[in-house]
Amino acid sequence: MKQKTLVLAVAAAAVLSACATYTPPTREETMAVINSSFRDRGIAKVDRLNQTELQKACTETGNNPSKDVRERLEKAALATVKYPADGKWLGDFKQGERIAQTGVGMQWSDTAGVPAGGNCYACHQLSKAEISYGNIGPSLNNYGKLRGYSDDIKRYTWAKIWNTHSFNACSSMPRFGDAGILTEEQIRHVMALLLDPASPVNK
């Protein structure tokens, strides 16, 4: 009899612990599961799961860190920007258009050494002629026409492309210069697409 009661009590406790005492997984537990769920493939290695301080801060605050943190992250991002040593901001807008159209780069399906694209049209409208554009970012049509072609605008735009977090800590845009997605020369071409008065973006 006593034994039966004990068995029942143990069974009841087991049911209770299964139903009532759910505790969500900790960040460490979740990260352990995530880390064991991915593998290296081609150029995409598992170390990509190690978050930077900025990625972590943006993830944990729903892309809305406190003012202090935001300002610190933006300052640190701006410090990573390498401006063109020869002061030459603009390249060839035709090559810029090709870079803006191309989406390859840094995927496990991409080959190391093949130049990446900027894939600008995935998220932005640029030249009027290209109607297949995304809307995750703002329209950049008439970018230069609307903002002018001053050196200040060029300097700002260069920094925005190099490390977008310089002006918006948790921006969705990739760090094209800082992360080594585009070369300095490629960024010049994209700059020309945006800021050459003869570019189709400004026509």
- Interface characters, 87-106, with other proteins (x: CB under 8 A): -------------------x
| HEC profile of 147-183 | HCCCHHHHHHHHHHHHCHHHCCCCCCCCCCCCCCCCC
Tell me how far apart the alpha carbons of residues 55 and 169 are, in angstroms, rounded to a whole number. 9
**Which lies closer to other proteins via its Cβ, residue 3 or residue 111?**
111
- Based on the shown chain and the rule CB under 8 A, indicate whether residue 113 belongs to the binding site for other proteins: no
User: How many residues are present in the chain?
Assistant: 203
Q: Which stretch binds other proteins (CB under 8 A): 1-9, 25-33, 144-152, 189-197?
A: 25-33
- Based on the shown chain and the rule CB under 8 A, indicate whether residue 167 belongs to the binding site for other proteins: no
| Cross-strand partners of 44 | 41
**Burial class for 57, CB neighbours closer than 10 Å (0-12, 13-18, 19+):** buried
- Based on the shown chain and the rule CB under 8 A, indicate whether residue 51 belongs to the binding site for other proteins: yes
Position among 4, 79, 131, 151 found at the interface with other proteins (CB under 8 A) = 131
Tell me how far apart the alpha carbons of residues 79 and 87 are, in angstroms, rounded to a whole number. 18
Position among 90, 126, 181, 201 found at the interface with other proteins (CB under 8 A) = 181
Phi-psi region of 116 (alpha: psi -120 to 50; beta: other; left: phi over 0): beta
Position among 134, 138, 148, 197 found at the interface with other proteins (CB under 8 A) = 134
Structure tokens at 52: 């930077």
Residue 28 has a CB neighbour count (10 Å cut-off) of 8
Position among 15, 25, 53, 155 found at the interface with other proteins (CB under 8 A) = 25
Residues lying near other proteins in the complex (CB under 8 A) = 18-19, 22, 24-25, 27, 29-30, 33-34, 36-41, 44-46, 48-51, 54-55, 58-59, 62, 106-109, 121-123, 131-136, 172, 174-175, 179-181
